[in-house]
């Protein structure tokens, strides 16, 4: 099941559970996790993209290690809310995750990377460290937005 509606996604988890958040780029996938009560999202790692089969295996391993019950994927919409080629690529990536047999939420990620980068600059994080942490931090920003929306529904 793939949805863009947080309440529909949340309905799959009446008792909560850990979620994985993904910021899917052309070269990397930023990864974040949340706690079982959906209080906070934490950046984890960045996966260097290879073939999709290798990306899927890396995600399967993380999902098994962290007892993940659902997946939140950042959806890169245009500023006016319309789709772009990158949006279509992300939707295709999400469809390719269906073999995971987990509910999947596509979450609007507009401004996520920019917001994270501004916060890192404000915290005086060096450019080199920002480059290695930006994708997983953006994944956490995306996941936090989703879990905040889901907990407001409840």
pLDDT at 77: 82
CA distances from 132 to 13, 32, 44, 94, 135 (A): 32, 14, 11, 24, 7
Cα angle 35, 48, 55 (rounded to 5 degrees) comes to 75
As given in the structure block, the two tokens for residue 15 are 């008792």
Q: What would you report as the CA-atom Rg of the chain, rounded to the nearest whole angstrom?
A: 15
* Average pLDDT by stretches of 10, the chain with 154 residues: 91 92 93 94 92 94 95 89 87 94 91 70 71 80 92 69
Q: pTM of the entire structure?
A: 0.88
| Counts of helices then strands in the chain (DSSP H, E) | 5, 6
CA 69 to chain centre: 14
Q: What is the pLDDT of residue 100?
A: 92
Give the span between the Cα atoms of 120 and 124, in whole angstroms: 6
Q: What is the pLDDT of residue 69?
A: 96
Give the strand order in the sheet containing 28-34: 2-3, 104-108, 68-75, 18-24, 28-34, 41-48
Return the pLDDT at 131.
65
pLDDT at 71: 97
The pLDDT of residue 85 = 87
Q: Which residue shows structure tokens 């080199």?
A: 128
- pLDDT at site 130: 60
């Amino acid at each position: 099941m793939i949805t863009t509606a947080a309440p529909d996604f949340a309905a799959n988890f009446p008792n909560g559970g850990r979620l994985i958040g993904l910021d899917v780029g052309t070269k990397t996938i930023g990864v974040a996790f949340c706690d079982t009560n959906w209080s906070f999202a934490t950046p984890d790692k960045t996966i260097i993209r290879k073939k999709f089969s290798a990306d899927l295996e890396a995600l399967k391993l993380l999902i098994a290690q962290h007892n993940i019950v659902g997946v939140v994927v950042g959806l890169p919409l245009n500023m006016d809310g319309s789709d772009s080629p990158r949006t279509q690529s992300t939707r295709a990536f999400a469809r390719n995750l269906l073999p995971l047999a987990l509910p999947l939420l596509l979450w609007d990620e507009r401004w996520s990377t920019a917001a994270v980068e501004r916060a890192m600059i404000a915290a005086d994080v060096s450019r080199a460290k920002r480059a290695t942490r930006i994708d997983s931090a953006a994944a956490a920003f995306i996941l936090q937005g989703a879990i905040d929306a889901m907990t407001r529904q409840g």
